[in-house]
Each structure stands twice: as structure tokens, then as C-alpha cells.
Chains A and B, each alone.
Chain A
Amino acid sequence: DGGITQSPKYLFRKEGQNVTLSCEQNLNHDAMYWYRQDPGQGLRLIYYSQIVNDFQKGDIAEGYSVSREKKESFPLTVTSAQKNPTAFYLCATSDRAYSNQPQHFGDGTRLSIL
């Protein structure tokens, strides 16, 4: 989706290291989301934010942290407490949380352990 940029496309984490995944959007959407995708497990919600300076835990927030200081940006930090971080991470946006409009997705970041 051209309006959502995730970087980097590939990321490698060393033992005990925190890494940060970037998500930037120019769609002027209020709501932003982070999902984790593992083979055969579909999409699992990590964190979401309905508005600047506010965010809520999703289903699998342990070992992750986020911030929402600007409307355009919702970075995800994978901390050393996340023992199994290898996955495909997807950022999404929607005009509002709980609306009838679809979510829009970036092209993902694939995180692997070195």
C-alpha cells in the first residue's frame, strides 16, 4: 500500500538486543496497528493506537513496546524479552478504530535472529 512505509524490509536481531521497526503513513489515518504473522497462525495483534499519545495492548503485547508521538508514525520495538521474535511484522492503518472502513497495510518487515 503506497501510503504506508515500513522499514527496513529485513532485520536481524542479535541475542539480548532491542530492535525498532518503523511504520510511517501519509493517509492521515487516526488508527494504527501492529500485527505479527507466523506461518499457519494468521495475523495476531500486538499493539494498536487510536490517536496520538495513546495506545493499547493487543493479544500478544509481551516483549514489545510502541510509541505514538506523531500521527504519521507508530514505531514498534522488539525487546530482548521477546524470546521468539522471528516473524513477519505488518503495520496497518484505518481512518478510525472500530470503523466500517478497511485497514490498509504496509509491505512488512521480516525479522530474524542472528
Chain B
Amino acid sequence: AQSVAQPEDQVNVAEGNPLTVKCTYSVSGNPYLFWYVQYPNRGLQFLLKYITGDNLVKGSYGFEAEFNKSQTSFHLKKPSALVSDSALYFCAVRDGSAGNNRKLIWGLGTSLAVNP
């Protein structure tokens, strides 16, 4: 069965420090992986995706994510956190292989707090 886990409900970092928001997944075929950010009372905004190719994916607002097939992980990273990065972050996965269950599966979200 397909699944996504975001093991941390909340992550706290100091401004200027690097941040990591973790995501692990399980699909039977090839994973399509996505990260989104949600600010209070707003919809989700797309940050980046991994479909194929380079394991390090760069996205919006200085975020990047590393696809690790052996660890089935797709952690979101940023070298230097900003207070304005404080938000709710969602990881999502779809099985990209034809014939498999290809619904988009969402993690439960991780609340990131960047302290000044």
C-alpha cells in the first residue's frame, strides 16, 4: 500500500540555521514526490518535485530536497532558515507506474517554527 510519513509534527530552528523537514514514503512503483507549504488560512503552494533524474531537486524560496531511493526518503532542506519560512509543510507521493494505484497520498504535515 502507498503511504507517506512525516515523522515530526513540529520542527523548531533558529533563524540562520539550516533546516530539515523529513519525509519517508512507500510505493510499489516509481515515486513522484512533491513538497508543498501552507501559510495560515491559505491554500497549499507547490515548492518542488522529484520525478526522475538528479536526486537533488531545487525549488522555490531557496528550498531543496534530496531523493534517497535506498532509504525511501525525500527530506526538505534549506541552508539558512528565515522567520518567514514558519509554516506548515506537506509531503505527497504518487506511484508513477502505470497500472498501479496512482492516487496522490499526503503526509499529515510538519509545522516549522523559525525563531528569531
Q: Mark A23-50, 1 if CB is under 8 A from B, else 0.
A: 0000000000000000011110100000
How many interface residues does chain A have, given as a range?
20 to 34
A43 and B106 contact, Cβ closer than 8 Å, known pairs A100-B32, A100-B96, A102-B34:
yes
Cα(A88)–Cα(B40), bound, Å: 11
How many interface residues does chain B have, given as a range?
20 to 34
Is B90 at the interface (CB under 8 A from chain A)? yes
Q: Tell me the A76-114 residues at the B interface (CB within 8 Å).
A: 88, 90, 92, 98, 100, 102-108, 110
Is B102 at the interface (CB under 8 A from chain A)? yes
Q: Within 8 Å CB of A105, what residues of B?
A: 36, 43-45
Q: Tell me the A48-93 residues at the B interface (CB within 8 Å).
A: 88, 90, 92
Closest residue on chain B to residue A6 by CB atoms: B43
Closest beta carbon of chain A to B99's beta carbon, Å: 11
A102 and B108 contact, Cβ closer than 8 Å, known pairs A43-B90, A45-B103, A108-B41:
no
A41 engages B45 (CB within 8 Å): no
A–B pairs, 19, beta carbons within 8 Å = A1-B43, A1-B45, A4-B43, A6-B43, A40-B108, A42-B90, A45-B104, A92-B44, A98-B102, A100-B32, A100-B49, A102-B34, A102-B46, A102-B49, A103-B44, A104-B46, A105-B36, A105-B44, A107-B42
